[in-house]
Structure 1
């Protein structure tokens, strides 16, 4: 298991600066997305995926994961809304081309939300259908499709996640314990998801707070790392501290917390 840094952790930086910081910190890998200063131009990526791939390969850093958001918010064009399927499939074909050209092994998308008139199970069923149609596109490109269960999605319990994985064989997870911890799930209840992880986000959390300082949260990071290793996980551990208004994640020193998490992981590995 090696470290990565999420580009959206550094909202005031350019993409080159974010890659440079990851290198200086000895992390050597950068997850990509469409947010803030280090953002990829989504329209350009969808129009000319190979050209944008050539640009990011020039960063000279490993690129383990792309966070692809279909719309402009958690709900816009989400996978639990059947009206979006054809547009999302068309976009995802371009995303898969980009990932293949940029040697990005995993891509994560969000599972969707409970839309107007839906129950949680309605959202689940429609999302499963959407994901089942996305999966062959990723597989054909040699890319692993993952979802990140998150706060405010329809997928807010480990049991529902396991149900979805059973419904869509081959689907994997971008696993972030924080999204479950802040909702009150015990760590051992989250551990059951580790065997399905193809990518991992690391940050500290506690009930009611998606993100908090390393010494103020309740996630036992060493225990989490042990569970991941025991499950056979050998992918990236992406440190994902953020400065954004989502879930009030505005009050942490991103650089300090990133370094603290890096050092904790290195100490555990040593």
Structure 2
């Protein structure tokens, strides 16, 4: 197992000018991280800094820090065939960037809709899967595995993720498994993690505070699909049974990257550091 962080965890500090992405690599290595995920568009961008790719590769090598995963947004639900093709071409160009960074795992989003019903999902499935196949086939030439993450409400429940992975039917298309995100669609995270571990290429560790729909906690919370109130927590501080979840991941034989994805209200550097230490402690104890 290789424990590290997602750069997403640090975007607050990057947006505030307290940290650059390059300094984020230094920071991740400084807390003992073995890898960092690169998530552009949140605190930094490659298009605005053409030399950034080369500098990140060089800095990571100096630190002995792996660039583990490259994560971008995408939406293959479009209003025309032309925009559908444009979106596929854009994501393929990002696969090329991941290759230049020396990264072998890449997560891209696939779809977003206001209507998140299973009926709509079934109607959209082949259009989404066809795009994912083309991208995965391109990525295979680099030895890159692409993936869909369980987030965004529409493709978030474990059975929908499984359905898409099986519909794409490519050995290098899997799932970035976020152990916490299942609660956003009111699914038991322990059961959902067990369901999707066999198709996971990457595991995100996240925690949430959870309150019933009848008890509005006020500012700083959002609602699940079923109306429960959620707020991001430092891993190990929230209401998820991380000990049981991590024990399940460990007993499955998963030996890849574990990545802290912090999105709580505390300072992001402090929250990510505590989460990292908590997960390392829990993992060693299960």
2:46 is aligned, of 38, 41, 47, to: 41
Q: Quick check: 1:91 aligned with 2:90?
A: yes
Tell me which residue corresponds to 2:147.
Answer: 146
Can you list the C-alpha shifts for 1:62-82, whole angstroms capped at 9, x where unaligned? 100111224xxxxxxx12336
Unaligned runs of 5+ in 2: 211-228
- Would the alpha carbon gap of residues 196 and 126 (structure 1) be closer, same or farther in structure 2, given more than 3 Å must change? same
Q: Quick check: 1:32 aligned with 2:33?
A: no
Between 1:254-263 and 1:164-173, the stretch displaced more is 254-263
Matches of 1:44 and 1:147, distance apart in 2: 27
After TM superposition, the structure 1 = structure 2 runs for residues 2-151 of structure 1, keeping only pairs within 5 Å, are 2-11=2-11, 12=14, 13-37=19-43, 39-42=44-47, 52-60=52-60, 61-70=65-74, 78-81=75-78, 83=81, 84-114=83-113, 119-151=120-152
Matches of 2:198 and 2:134, distance apart in 1: 23
Do 1:66 and 1:99's aligned partners in 2 also have CA atoms closer than 8 Å? yes
- Residue 125 of structure 2 aligns to a residue whose secondary structure is helix
Structure 1 residue 10 displacement after superposition: 1.6
Which TM-score applies when normalising by structure 2? 0.78
Which TM-score applies when normalising by structure 1? 0.82
Higher Cα Rg, which structure: 2
Tell me which residue corresponds to 1:73.
Answer: none
Matches of 2:236 and 2:39, distance apart in 1: 28
Tell me which residue corresponds to 2:205.
Answer: 202
Structure 1 residue 206 displacement after superposition: 4.2
Matches of 1:225 and 1:166, distance apart in 2: 25
2:188 is aligned, of 179, 186, 189, to: 186
- Would the alpha carbon gap of residues 214 and 6 (structure 1) be closer, same or farther in structure 2, given more than 3 Å must change? closer
Matches of 2:58 and 2:100, distance apart in 1: 12
Q: Size of the alignment, in residue pairs?
A: 249
Tell me which residue corresponds to 2:269.
Answer: 255
Q: Quick check: 1:172 aligned with 2:174?
A: yes
